[in-house]
Structure 1
Amino acid sequence: MLVAYDPIFAHPLPEGHRFPMVKYELIPAQLLREGIISEQQLHIPAPAEESTILLTHTAHYWQQLQHQTLSDKEQRRIGLPQSPALTLREIVISQGTIDCALHAMEHGVALNVAGGTHHAFADRGEGFCLLNDFAIAANYLLHQQLVKKVLIIDLDVHQGNGTAALFEGRPEVYTFSMHGAHNYPFHKEVSDWDVPLPDGMNDVDYLRTLGECLPVLINKVKPDIVFYLSGVDILQTDRYGKLQVTHEGCRKRDEMVFHTLKQHGIPCTVAMGGGYSTQIRDIVNAHCNTFRTAAEIWG
């Protein structure tokens, strides 16, 4: 099991913006401590090539990120102050997801400690997302003719609006987003299949809804690879999530996705997405459950 990680995740942001970004250093540390992964399974990606980024993002926006020329309004939309370190971090995250996809196609599964930057559009960033790593990786695989059909399963509590917009009218990529109906972004884009969830949804209803969707997705799309965004902001402890899913429910969600993909022989690339519980241990434990579950199912 490959785990993409880069130590620059730890310190690219001003102190006031570091929580919950600290999870990116705590997750691999916890996995190593438990013996879920070894040092040999940790992969430090190189930065993605410019040509790869430009398969997804506009040249103008890429130049803005390179030369640090985002306006104050554009930075506010992203929610983070621009910096060369932040841009580098997003470029490395994107290559990490590409590397995970290539590994998953050989070995079944691979996970990015970060990623899931699904609010980034072709020409702008939003919601703590500068570059859309799933879109970049999917477009790379398609451009290299390594796959013909991609399925994105986005189970973050927030709709993958940037991903939906990027692949609108692109039948080779099917976007599925199951998210809080009354959560950010308040203007939703149109995915190939959106499942808006009511506030307060519990484990039973959440898992039943997902269990009804997954077989339909697999049979309809017949993907060559799945990109799975396993956000843990569905937790009842999340400050912004508005759902009532427990840690066990979140773990069973991952188990359901992984079992389905393993059963059908579909490679799976995973990114962690959001998590904003008050206690950092809740965030880290829920994310680590995703790795634990993947290790159990794929061995």
Structure 2
Amino acid sequence: MLPVVYHPIYSDFPIPDGHRYPLSKYRLLKDYITDNLWPVTTHVPSMLNSVELKEIHAPEYVDALLTGAIPLVKMRRIGFPWSDALLTRSLTSLGGTTLTVDLALEQGVAIHLTGGYHHAHYDFGSGFCLFNDLVLAANHALKSEGIDKVLIVDCDVHHGDGTASLTANRSDIITLSVHCEKNFPSRKPDSDIDLPLQIDTGSDDYLDAFLPCLRLALAQHQPDMVIYDAGVDIHRDDELGYLAVCHEGIAKRDTAVFEACLDHQIPVAAVIGGGYRSDHAQLVPLHAELIRAAINTYYPTTWKIDNE
């Protein structure tokens, strides 16, 4: 059965009414998987400790966030009001992504039902991201025997600027970002591989550009692990996206990533990434494609979940 990582706190922290962050989608996605009796085992994470945080983030920034001493201007850049609940939720989510790495190393694949906080930099957060779970997870994976290089495949519609800046001087973490060129953030530091796409790029053009790039990255860098950010804000109806990929295109993308990793015998830890709708329930079938693709790719003789 597919290992998934989830905690109820993911949809349980205070944000202002009308906030753009899709707070309930994590709970709704977990309910969808449970209600449909999909073959998963659920793992509940613990909070990440500050020691691991300070391995990639500035210690003074970590301490300021954890104690509530961070300046208001920095919290505004993050996009949330500071609260103890926000910090507990964030640290639990970070622990969830590192747990997803551990499970993927054991079983070949694992999925985190949140994650993808790629706008967090060394000493500041941005775009709903306090700390960078993708780099934390890669750094965590590199402590495991036999893991000498990690490839972060970031398919969120927004460029992974924090990830790129945090790994700029590292040869053991390779970053691939496929994103909408004319979208947040305005400043996009170089990833190892950047694939900027034009506004309104559709499914066929998206896949024709991304899939050869993915195959080349796997062949050229030969990573020992892949961390996959499977954002669905590339969908044509996303409120913050600007690309025009359809539901089927997202399903094909997720399947292709898993199949490529399986072909190369590379364990993959996936996070669901971004997706923005006023009606959070509309995001659930899109995010669910990641779970469906993993089950159908890794357990085809035991389970097969047809597309709806």
Q: TM-score, normalised by structure 1?
A: 0.96
- SS for the counterpart of 2:293 is helix
- Map 1:205-216 onto structure 2 (within 5 A): 205-216=205-216
Match of 1:98 in 2: 98
Contact 1:55 1:140 in 2 (8 A): no
Match of 1:117 in 2: 117
- SS for the counterpart of 1:226 is strand
Match of 2:49 in 1: 49
Contact 1:45 1:99 in 2 (8 A): yes
- Deviation, structure 1 residue 18: 7.4
Closer, same or farther: CA 255–124 of 1 in aligned 2, 3 Å: same
Match of 1:29 in 2: 31
- Map 1:51-200 onto structure 2 (within 5 A): 51-145=51-145, 147-200=147-200
Separation in 1, partners of 2:237, 2:92: 30
Deviations 1:23-48 (A, max 9, x none): 0111111001111144xx11110111
Contact 1:233 1:277 in 2 (8 A): no
- Deviation, structure 1 residue 69: 1.5
Percent identity (aligned)? 37
Per residue, is there more helix in 1 or in 2? 1
Q: TM-score, normalised by structure 2?
A: 0.93
State the Cα RMSD in Å. 1.3
Contact 2:277 2:283 in 1 (8 A): yes
- Deviation, structure 1 residue 205: 0.3
Runs of at least 5 residues in structure 1 that lack an aligned partner in the other structure: none
Contact 2:22 2:278 in 1 (8 A): no
- Deviation, structure 1 residue 142: 2.0
Separation in 2, partners of 1:143, 1:47: 19
- Deviation, structure 1 residue 145: 4.9
Contact 1:150 1:225 in 2 (8 A): yes
Closer, same or farther: CA 61–287 of 1 in aligned 2, 3 Å: same
Match of 1:6 in 2: 7
Deviations 1:64-119 (A, max 9, x none): 11111121211110011111111111111111111111111121110111110000
Count of aligned pairs: 297
Contact 1:101 1:269 in 2 (8 A): yes
Q: Which amino acid aligns with 2:37?
A: G
Separation in 1, partners of 2:43, 2:196: 35
Q: Which amino acid aligns with 1:119?
A: H
- Deviation, structure 1 residue 15: 4.6
Match of 2:22 in 1: 20
Contact 1:238 1:278 in 2 (8 A): no
- Deviation, structure 1 residue 166: 0.4
The yes-or-no answer on 1:290 pairing with 2:290 is yes
- SS for the counterpart of 1:239 is coil
Extract structure 1 runs of 4+ deviating beyond 6 A.
none
Deviations 1:247-286 (A, max 9, x none): 1111111011111111111000001111013432331110
Separation in 1, partners of 2:183, 2:239: 12
